[in-house]
Structure 1
Protein backbone atom coordinates (compact mmCIF):
# COMPACT_ATOMS: atom_id res chain seq x y z
CA UNK A 1 0.00 0.00 0.00
CA UNK A 2 2.55 2.54 -1.05
CA UNK A 3 -0.05 5.04 -2.26
CA UNK A 4 -2.76 4.09 0.23
CA UNK A 5 -4.13 5.88 3.23
CA UNK A 6 -3.09 4.72 6.66
CA UNK A 7 -5.94 3.33 8.72
CA UNK A 8 -6.63 5.00 12.03
CA UNK A 9 -8.83 3.62 14.74
CA UNK A 10 -9.66 4.61 18.28
CA UNK A 11 -8.09 1.39 19.50
CA UNK A 12 -4.77 0.10 18.20
CA UNK A 13 -5.19 -2.39 15.39
CA UNK A 14 -3.43 -5.70 15.75
CA UNK A 15 -0.62 -6.71 13.42
CA UNK A 16 -2.92 -9.48 12.14
CA UNK A 17 -5.55 -6.94 11.05
CA UNK A 18 -2.91 -4.76 9.41
CA UNK A 19 -1.52 -7.81 7.58
CA UNK A 20 -5.01 -8.79 6.43
CA UNK A 21 -5.67 -5.27 5.11
CA UNK A 22 -2.39 -5.25 3.20
CA UNK A 23 -3.10 -8.72 1.77
CA UNK A 24 -6.63 -7.70 0.74
CA UNK A 25 -5.34 -4.53 -0.91
CA UNK A 26 -2.68 -6.48 -2.81
CA UNK A 27 -5.22 -9.07 -3.97
CA UNK A 28 -7.52 -6.32 -5.27
CA UNK A 29 -4.66 -4.57 -7.07
CA UNK A 30 -3.53 -7.86 -8.62
CA UNK A 31 -7.08 -8.77 -9.71
CA UNK A 32 -7.70 -5.35 -11.27
CA UNK A 33 -4.35 -5.56 -13.03
CA UNK A 34 -5.20 -8.99 -14.42
CA UNK A 35 -8.61 -7.76 -15.57
CA UNK A 36 -7.03 -4.78 -17.35
CA UNK A 37 -4.45 -7.05 -18.98
CA UNK A 38 -7.26 -9.32 -20.19
CA UNK A 39 -8.86 -6.33 -21.88
CA UNK A 40 -11.91 -5.82 -19.69
CA UNK A 41 -13.33 -2.32 -20.06
CA UNK A 42 -12.58 -0.04 -17.11
CA UNK A 43 -16.29 0.63 -16.57
CA UNK A 44 -16.98 -3.09 -16.23
CA UNK A 45 -14.19 -3.47 -13.65
CA UNK A 46 -15.53 -0.53 -11.65
CA UNK A 47 -19.09 -1.84 -11.89
CA UNK A 48 -18.08 -5.29 -10.66
CA UNK A 49 -16.14 -3.85 -7.73
CA UNK A 50 -18.99 -1.52 -6.82
CA UNK A 51 -21.53 -4.32 -7.05
CA UNK A 52 -19.43 -6.59 -4.83
CA UNK A 53 -18.96 -3.78 -2.28
CA UNK A 54 -22.70 -3.11 -2.26
CA UNK A 55 -23.53 -6.79 -1.78
CA UNK A 56 -21.04 -7.17 1.08
CA UNK A 57 -22.33 -3.99 2.74
CA UNK A 58 -25.88 -5.35 2.48
CA UNK A 59 -24.79 -8.60 4.14
CA UNK A 60 -23.02 -6.77 7.00
CA UNK A 61 -25.96 -4.45 7.67
CA UNK A 62 -28.51 -7.26 7.67
CA UNK A 63 -26.64 -9.81 9.80
Structure 2
Protein backbone atom coordinates (compact mmCIF):
# COMPACT_ATOMS: atom_id res chain seq x y z
CA UNK A 1 0.00 0.00 0.00
CA UNK A 2 1.28 3.42 -0.90
CA UNK A 3 1.29 6.47 1.30
CA UNK A 4 -1.91 8.49 0.61
CA UNK A 5 -0.36 11.69 2.00
CA UNK A 6 1.75 13.92 -0.27
CA UNK A 7 5.43 14.35 0.58
CA UNK A 8 5.25 18.13 0.24
CA UNK A 9 3.32 21.07 1.69
CA UNK A 10 0.21 21.93 -0.31
CA UNK A 11 -0.74 25.20 1.44
CA UNK A 12 0.31 27.28 4.40
CA UNK A 13 -0.65 30.61 5.96
CA UNK A 14 1.66 33.28 7.33
CA UNK A 15 0.15 36.45 8.82
CA UNK A 16 1.57 39.75 7.59
CA UNK A 17 2.69 40.64 11.13
CA UNK A 18 4.29 37.31 12.02
CA UNK A 19 7.46 38.89 13.48
CA UNK A 20 5.44 41.09 15.84
CA UNK A 21 3.31 38.14 16.94
CA UNK A 22 6.35 35.98 17.62
CA UNK A 23 8.29 38.74 19.39
CA UNK A 24 5.43 39.54 21.79
CA UNK A 25 4.24 35.91 22.02
CA UNK A 26 0.84 36.75 20.51
CA UNK A 27 0.99 34.06 17.85
CA UNK A 28 -1.84 31.60 17.44
CA UNK A 29 -1.42 28.15 18.81
CA UNK A 30 -3.08 27.90 22.20
CA UNK A 31 -5.92 25.88 20.73
CA UNK A 32 -6.70 23.73 17.76
CA UNK A 33 -8.79 25.16 14.97
CA UNK A 34 -12.50 24.38 14.81
CA UNK A 35 -14.13 23.88 11.42
CA UNK A 36 -17.79 24.90 11.51
CA UNK A 37 -20.54 23.09 9.56
CA UNK A 38 -21.17 24.48 6.07
CA UNK A 39 -22.84 27.90 6.17
CA UNK A 40 -24.99 29.81 3.70
CA UNK A 41 -23.72 33.00 2.12
CA UNK A 42 -20.44 34.03 0.54
CA UNK A 43 -18.21 32.27 3.10
CA UNK A 44 -19.47 28.71 3.37
CA UNK A 45 -16.50 27.09 5.10
CA UNK A 46 -15.58 28.90 8.32
CA UNK A 47 -12.87 28.14 10.85
CA UNK A 48 -12.43 29.42 14.42
CA UNK A 49 -9.26 29.66 16.48
CA UNK A 50 -8.24 31.16 19.83
CA UNK A 51 -4.97 33.00 20.43
CA UNK A 52 -2.82 32.72 23.54
CA UNK A 53 -4.37 35.96 24.80
CA UNK A 54 -7.89 34.53 24.45
CA UNK A 55 -8.83 36.40 21.28
CA UNK A 56 -11.27 34.49 19.07
CA UNK A 57 -10.55 34.66 15.35
CA UNK A 58 -12.73 33.53 12.46
CA UNK A 59 -11.67 32.99 8.88
CA UNK A 60 -12.64 31.38 5.61
CA UNK A 61 -11.20 27.87 5.79
CA UNK A 62 -10.88 27.52 2.02
CA UNK A 63 -8.56 30.54 1.84
CA UNK A 64 -6.02 29.25 4.36
- Whose helix fraction is larger, Structure 1's or Structure 2's? 1
The alignment's TM-score, normalised by the length of structure 2, stands at 0.25
Q: TM-score, normalised by structure 1?
A: 0.25
